[in-house]
Structure 1
Amino acid sequence: MTTVASVDTQQSLGTTGSIGLYKGGEELRRAVAALAGPSGEHRENGRPSSSHDSAAPPSAQAAQLIPISVKSADHSTRELAFAAQRYAKAAQKNPSDFESVYNHGLALQELASRMASSRTEQMQLLEKACERYSAAWKMKPSSHSALYNWGVALSDMSRVLKSTDRTAANALLSEAADKYATSLQHHANNPQALNNWGLVLQELSTMAADHERAQLVRQSVQKFRQAIRLRPEFDRACYNLGTVYYSHAHTLSSAAAAQLSSQLTKDRQREQQERADGVEVDYAFKLAALYITLAFALQPKRDVYKRSLKVVRPLLPGGALCYGKLQAVVPQTARTSHERWEARSFILDHTGFRESASGHLDAADGSRVALEDVADVKPCMDPSLPAGHAFWVSLHSLPTGLYFVADNLEAAEGWVDAILMAAHIAAGMQLPALAHALTVEVAP
């Protein structure tokens, strides 16, 4: 890419950013609906509420139920404020009622998201929501939902404070990370919590000192990766993983350029380091392109994926998802006493996973595994395999599967994700979208 293209690319992905936090939207809708009867009238204690339920006149009662700041808001916001007041009343009557306390927190948190014009009021609502989640969690320490939404509220508070108090914003993000970690102790297979935790770690990495940043980036990658392996159709986590690698590639590139400019002379060791830095940067960009392309194939109508794909498509290895050397068994020697392994070139694209016997990216001269035939893909550790980082591909036509060994861990993890998600895309009849991403320029 030219210098101008690099700047435009960075701005393009910077404006789209990572996909935001998952919130308890459906859960909140159920909580609000629980207060309404078949006709839509609000109910309390199993009967319709009316102005006669209070000694105050109807107008005074409405003012009590709906905060002044939302009295002129749309109907859904007024209804949400009404729900928050009802849950607050229920919690006052019975402070040990987990559902009322927890649902009060949900309603307050959603109200805060609609108060963007008033940071003070946003913070007050979010602080109260956190207090409600804390109280709910103390009643039911195993409630991963209370911890999860508590983490979301803390992240929202950090976002409000980021421009005025970065230290406080950072502290809130660290606290949010703790809440997601604890929630996963009670519900380990929650990809949404993993995604949110990854986003928090990614944001923390942007505010961290140099010696901490790489560690936070690795942790963020790990969370997004866990999320997509639990749920391969999770396009948000896949896209977020791509943005982490993209930002990391630019950070590495900037650091390498700064180091180069500080050197008055070059020696052999410095030249070797430059080449190694270049390889690391290029590979990070390729991984960014891989995950963003997969996210697009999962949800091709999302504008943010379309725009980002247009940016990263030139970074893909020759129009393929993955291309590189892997150690594999020489087919003629497989499962014999003379089994032999050798490094060969492999390609993954919308047509399948195949060997390039001639070592050329555009060659179609090797054996091919159809994506529809892939049953599972997992990293593996087996002392009988050659040195390196191995992964196993299980096929419907060959349940014992095939083994491959990459030179490094990051390459192995990238192949696992790519094959697993491409197979999921094939199973969901979405290969045309993947083919389009790899072979056709995406329209602006």
Structure 2
Amino acid sequence: MPETTEAPEHHDRQQPQAEPEPESKIESQSESKTQPGPENKPEPVVTDADQTPKEDDKESSIQSDETVKPSYTEQSARPQLNRTFTMRELLTEFKSDEDDAGSPYSPESTQRQSNQNSAAMELVNSVTGSDEEGQSRQRVLVYAVKRYAIALEKNPEDYDALYNWALVLQESADNVSPDSTSPSKDALLEEACKKYDEATRLCPTLHDAFYNWAIAISDRAKMRGRTKEAEELWEQATKNYEKAVKLNWNSPQALNNWGLALQELSVIVPAREKQNTVRTAISKFRAAIRLQFDFHRAIYNLGTVLYGLAEDSVQTGSTNLKEVSPNELYSQSAIYIAAAHAMKPNYSVYSSALKLVRSMLPLPHLKEGYLTATPAGNTIAPHSEWKRTEFFLNHEALQQVIKVEPKQVSRSLSGRVVDVGNTGIKAIRVDIPDIISVSACADLTLPPGAGLCINTKSGSVFLVADSWESVDGWLDAIRLVYTIHARGKTDVLAGIITT
């Protein structure tokens, strides 16, 4: 269990809307709404570095975290892809390309390719940047575009050049001045999408291209509000994230961004489709967290989508996801937001969100609920001896609550008082530092239900939850508390639930 917590962090933005009672709003790294709930806002960046979340001016809303955007200057896993070039290298390679011998393609083919790329070059050339740093960055992007254009003139099927060119267009779109009308950010992103389309046609296994293409589409969708055109773009983005994940399943960033796109889509689609869309978004965030237990952005985003689901249930009065009550959804949401804050206590968006949902936790515990367990110390007890009892989870342990019946007192004929109540009953306790792994399990030796196995230094503890949905909640909560412990942030979590 500790190894998986070392995975790199990645981030996405999303923002569901919710409006709980006293502290009903949560803010994430994407733009939040006036109502509590996260907003989906994916952005292209393929980097392992943490990005500081943008703060929302309104403390009354819950925002989702930022998406992960790939940058053309970032180094990719593929050789020569997204390599960082210095100005000298760009100029030198540009000149050497000009001096190279002719292309294997005909002059007509080369000219046709040149004409097709001229519009994209003009777009990049026309971006000036909003400040001195932006202008300097844009000059490098212009040199890079020239390099990729020459590469494509020599070989129109150079998908690496197409991919890198698309990244340059995306970077240029981010470099467009807010008050600029020509070129528009949308025009640059549209051209980037065309390049990604060409690159993936030539190389259908180029998962980075599908990922960054989805981010470009998402950025275009965000410009269109809640329109039919935006809905179509969000659907395209989700399909490209799906392709990226199928080609590279071990990508928590892609799963997180996929969840954000689905969350954005859920506020546009017809009401009959919303439940299924939200359910799918939850599954993507949860999958991202299970690939990387300390992926605080996905943890936070999951909290915001659950919060938004609780808000919808309260406002519409309809049954919600798998018959989970709004109060339980609020409590689940608070668990994820508290965990994200414990991992990144300096993120003001997490702090603001926590203030809104902290009272929804079963303080002084992080989680409470019922599990069926054997008598303490008897792991091979027959099913008839397993009892459904209350458990709580805090920063120190998972602890069984034993409610002892009041002692019955009787007086013997000799006048001696005799206790006939329950005494000496042991409770199950699993200390967080002792945990090795936690997993769901289906075993015929367990009573019917959703099994939960906690491997510890002193042996395994088996418990049975009321449903598989309940098991998911316990699994995530225990893993998150362990991850917080492994990261040395137990004191932060303790402060959240005990003060």
Q: Distance in 2 between matches of 1:311 and 1:69?
A: 42
1:282 to 1:71, Cα distance in 2 relative to 1, 3 A:
closer
Matched AA of 2:360: L
Write out per-residue CA displacement over residues 350-393 of structure 1, whole angstroms, 9 at most, x where no aligned residue.
1111112139xxxxx84421212111111222233222222221
- Cα offset for 1:3? 8.1
* Equivalent residue number for residue 303 of structure 1: 348
2:126 to 68, 81, 99: 68
Alpha-carbon distance in 2 for matches of 1:438, 1:321: 7
Mean alpha-carbon deviation: is it higher for 111-120 or for 367-376? 111-120
| Shift in Å, 1:426 | 0.9
8 Å CA contact 2:74–2:84 kept in 1: the answer is no
Determine the C-alpha separation between the residues in 2 that align with 1:429 and 1:438: 16
Aligned partner of 2:470 in structure 1 is: 411
Distance 2:400 2:313 in 1: 31
Go from structure 1 to structure 2 and tell me whether the alpha carbon gap of 1:88 and 1:29 turns closer, same or farther (over 3 Å shift): farther
Residue 65 of structure 1, CA deviation: 9.8
1:17 aligns with 2:63: yes
Contact 2:447–2:464 under 8 Å retained in 1: yes
1:160 aligns with 2:218: no
Letter in 2 for 1:108: L
Q: 2:205 corresponds to which residue?
A: 142
SS in 2 for 1:43: helix
Q: Report the equivalent of 2:302.
A: 241
Is 2:22 the partner of 1:5?
yes
Structure 2 match to 1:357: 402
How far apart in 2 are the matches of 1:316 and 1:248? Answer: 17
Provide the residue aligned with 1:223 in structure 2.
284
1:169 shift after superposition:
0.6
CA contact (8 A) 1:13 1:311 kept: no
- Give CA deviations for 1:284-342 in whole Å, capped at 9, x if unaligned: 00011010011111111111101101111000012322101111112243225677311
State whether residues 32 and 83 of structure 1, in contact with CA within 8 Å, keep that contact through their aligned partners in structure 2.
Answer: no
Deviation digits for residues 256-298 of structure 1, max 9, x if unmatched?
Answer: 1xx7xxxxxxxxxxxxx99x98x70000000110100111111
Q: Match for residue 44 of structure 1?
A: 93
Of structures 1 and 2, the one scoring higher in RCO (CA 8 A, sep 6+) is 2
8 Å Cα contact 2:71/2:82 also seen in 1:
no
Aligned counterparts of 2:209 and 2:65: Cα–Cα separation in 1: 22
Aligned match of 1:250: 311
SS in 1 for 2:215: helix
Aligned to 1:196: 257
SS at match of 1:133: helix
Matched, 1:436 2:492: no
Q: Per-residue deviation at 1:67?
A: 2.0
Q: TM-score, normalised by structure 2?
A: 0.73
Instruction: Give the one of 418, 432, 437 matched to 1:371.
Output: 432
Describe the shift of the 1:415–1:48 C-alpha distance in structure 2 as closer, same or farther (beyond 3 A): same
1:347 maps to 2:392 = yes
Equivalent position SS for 2:447: coil
Structure 2 match to 1:266: none
Instruction: Name the SS for the 2:392 alignment partner.
Output: strand
The structural deviation recorded for 1:198 is 0.5
Matched, 1:383 2:429: no
Measure, in 2, the Cα distance between the counterparts of 1:133 and 1:41.
Answer: 22
Check 1:42–1:352 CA distance in 2 against 1; reply closer, same or farther (3 A cut).
Answer: farther
Gaps of 5+ in 2: 1-18, 27-33, 39-60, 99-120, 405-425
Instruction: Identify the residue that residue 358 of structure 2 maps to in structure 1.
Output: 313
What is the match of residue 106 of structure 1? 167
1:237 partner letter: A
Amino acid at match of 2:22: A
- Following TM superposition, by how much is the alpha carbon of 1:207 offset from its aligned partner in structure 2, in angstroms? 1.2
**Letter aligned with residue 403 of structure 2:** S
Give the % identical residues. Answer: 32
Q: Give the match's secondary structure for 1:92.
A: helix
1:195-229 deviation digits (Å, cap 9, x = unpaired): 01101111111112222111111111100000001
Give the direction of change, closer, same or farther, for the CA distance of 1:27–1:222 in structure 2 (3 Å limit): farther
What do residues 149-200 of structure 1 show as CA deviations (whole Å, max 9, x unaligned)? 111111111011226xx10111011011111111111111211111011011
**Is 2:179 the partner of 1:121?**
no
Partner of 2:117: none
Q: Which has the higher helix share?
A: 1
Return the alpha-carbon distance in structure 2 between the equivalents of residues 308 and 7 of structure 1. 9
State the AA in 1 paired with 2:217. L
Cα deviation for residue 232 of structure 1 reads 0.2
2:443 partner amino acid: D
Corresponding position: 1:331 with 2:376 = yes
- 2: distance between equivalents of 1:8 and 1:202? 16
Map of 2:85 onto structure 1: 35
Residue of 381, 404, 421 corresponding to 2:480: 421
CA root-mean-square deviation: 3.1
Taking structure 1 as the reference length, what is the TM-score of the superposition? Answer: 0.82
Deviation at 1:238, TM superposition (A): 0.4
SS at match of 1:189: coil
CA-CA distance at 1:71 after TM superposition: 6.2
Check whether the contact 2:25–2:357 (CA below 8 A) recurs between aligned residues: no
Distance in 2 of aligned mates of 1:330 and 1:373: 20
Q: Which piece of structure 1 moves more, 372-381 or 345-354?
A: 372-381
Per the alignment, residue 14 of structure 2 pairs with none
- Measured after TM superposition, the shift of residue 104 of structure 1 is 0.8
CA distance in 2, matches of 1:3, 1:428: 31
Identify the residue that residue 211 of structure 1 maps to in structure 2: 272
Instruction: Please state whether the residue corresponding to 2:238 is helix, strand or coil.
Output: helix
Aligned partners of 1:147 and 1:182 also within 8 Å: yes
TM-aligned CA distance change 1:147 to 1:318, over 3 Å: same
Aligned residues: 401
